[in-house]
Amino acid sequence: MEATCTPRVERKVVAAETTSSSREQASEQLQDLADLSISGKRCQRIAQRVGQQRVEEREQRLDQYEALPLPQQREVPADAPPGGWDHRVAVVMVDGGRAQLRDERWGQPRAPGEEKPRWWRESKVSMVATFLRQSHASDPLPEVPENLLDPLWLIPRINEIKAAKGGDSAAREIGNSPPEEGFPSLDDRSQENADDRDPVRRWSPEPLVRSVVATFEPYDKLGRLAKVEAYHRGFTAAGAKAFVGDGLSSNWKIQQTYFSDYTPILDLLHAFTYVYSAAGAVAVDMEECWQLCKTWITWTWQGKVELVIEALDSWIERTSHVATLETLGESRGYLHNNRQRMRYDDYRRRGLPITSALMESTIKRINRRIKGSEKFWSDGAEPHLQLSADKISETNPLASYWKKKAETQTGKRKSRAKA
């Protein structure tokens, strides 16, 4: 029979599991850093048990919130962090990662002609964060920052987003079909290890405290979880609130359903991705592409997306090439559908964030453990996702969990029947 672990050991196992890319790596870390010999499988079992308990806690918290009368849901709870909202903005960001989840088809023989099953599912993640905010009488930065007009800086980032999203996911961002995948990501170093070389930091408000909620359940569930988290963080009292995401329709459904009083903002870099695609489709060479791109990026940056849409309309009228028309139509659709969320000049004036780079880096951190072409999850997916979200959360929900758990381990034990 497997030995029981002390809570102290469990804490270390969970820390290793959530920061490693696999259970084997977690086991190695424990051996190397803590002289603990615990097999990878055992690490995973322990993490799954703890994660499941965290999922149960989360569900309980959700039920408690939703049982509150509506006026009470709009109040600031007693456990909300103290402190005012001067020079602070409450921000909710939403995005998706990916993981392979087994279902009842696993191990079943395929019927003749049946397609190879796909196991990829979307992990839905929301970041509930505070940012420093400084409002201005007018746009403090009407000119596009140098780095955004530097192809060597911008194009790799755009390509990364495009590569990560894949074709059919990009289509979902434009249309209204239900989301399944799509995991745009930026170089997390640009946000997390910001230094003098990092221009993103200079025109983005500084993030303060982030907490993360995540689930494999539908997007609506994510919205409810984010709402509860925002409630406990006391976001109701914030004077400035923003909701940032890419163009996925589910993101904006969450915003309209649960965060309707938040300013909806489309991630700037996602907008640039479509601008760049359109420029690439109509230009004859790279030089012309970049010149067009610079103009359209400048308009987008200045909150004049209508000018970009007009320019695209003009190109659409003049073009008969099918593939070009398709790309132009896609970009135009994206920009048109999101135009109300692209008032970047106004957002900068109000001190609101205009990129979801911090969210993208959060997704990357979660994907490190959850996502992999060789990783197939069954029951453990949701518990592990929960633990990964907990680990990244700067509100440290795991500390409360361990504390609560320790309180029940008093040593005053009654005899009970052997299981």
Partner 1 sequence: MFQRAKVTAAMSQELIDELTDRGRRDLSRLRMDDLETEVYELVDAITRRTVRGVLEEQVEACEEMPHCPQCGRELDDKPPEKKTLTTDRGEVTWNQPVKRCSACRCDFFPSGPGVGD
Q: What are phi and psi of 316, to 5 degrees?
A: -60, -40
Minimum distance from CB of 47 to partner 1 (Å)?
A: 14
Q: Tell me the DSSP string of 211-242.
A: EEEEESS-HHHHHHHHHHHHHHTTGGG-S-EE
Q: Per this entry, what is the length of the chain?
A: 419
Which of these ranges, 8-16, 122-130, 308-316, 338-346, lies near partner 1 under the rule CB under 8 A? 8-16
Q: Exposed e or buried b for every residue in 117-136, given b needs 16+ CB within 10 A?
A: eebebbbbbbbbbbbebeee
Site string (11-30) toward partner 1, x via CB under 8 A: -x------------------
- Closer residue to partner 1 (CB): 10 or 24: 10
Asked whether the beta carbons of 221 and 147 are under 8 A apart, the reply is: no
Q: Is 124 in the site for partner 1 (CB under 8 A)?
A: no
Beta carbon of residue 46, minimum distance to partner 1 (angstroms, whole number): 10
According to DSSP, the β-strands at 120-132 and 88-101 are: antiparallel
Residues 27-46 within binding reach of partner 1 (CB under 8 A): 34, 36, 38
Minimum distance, C-beta of residue 412 to partner 1, in the bound complex (Å): 7
DSSP 100: E
Any bridge partners for residue 120, and if so which?
A: 100
Minimum separation from the CB atom of position 11 to partner 1 (A): 10
Total number of residues binding partner 1 (CB under 8 A)?
23
Distance CA 372, CA 418 (A): 40
Closer residue to partner 1, CB minimum distance, 318 or 412: 412
Inter-CA distances, 413 with 405, 406, 419, Å? 15, 14, 16
Q: Which is nearer to partner 1, 6 or 291 (CB)?
A: 6
93: left (phi over 0), alpha (psi -120 to 50) or beta: beta
**Binding partner 1 by CB under 8 A: which of 9, 208, 283, 325?**
9
Query: CB 233 → partner 1: shortest distance, Å?
Result: 30
- CB-nearer residue toward partner 1: 5 or 155: 5
In single-letter form, the type of residue at position 396 comes to N
User: Two tokens at 192?
Assistant: 């997390």
Half-sphere exposure of 117 (CA within 13 A, CB side): 15
284 binds partner 1 (CB under 8 A): no
CB nearer to partner 1: pick between 50 and 357: 50
Q: Are 177 and 171 in contact (CB under 8 A)?
A: yes
Taking the complex as a whole, the smallest distance from the CB of residue 211 to partner 1 amounts, in Å, to: 28
3-class DSSP assignment, residue 378 = coil
Residue 62 as a binder of partner 1 (CB under 8 A): the answer is no
How far is the C-alpha of 74 from the C-alpha of 125, rounded, in Å?
Answer: 23
Residues 383-412 that bind partner 1 (CB under 8 A): 408-409, 411-412
Stretch that binds partner 1, among 9-17, 79-87, 207-215, 279-287 (CB under 8 A): 9-17
- Per CB under 8 A, 193 contacts partner 1: no
Cβ 326 vs Cβ 352: under 8 Å: no
Phi first, then psi, for residue 301 (nearest 5°) are: -55, -40
- Among residues 116, 318, 403, 413, the one that binds partner 1 under rule CB under 8 A: 413
Stretch that binds partner 1, among 7-15, 65-73, 155-163, 393-401 (CB under 8 A): 7-15
Smallest distance, Å, CB 144 to partner 1? 54
Contact positions toward partner 1, by CB under 8 A? 1, 3-10, 12, 34, 36, 38, 408-409, 411-418
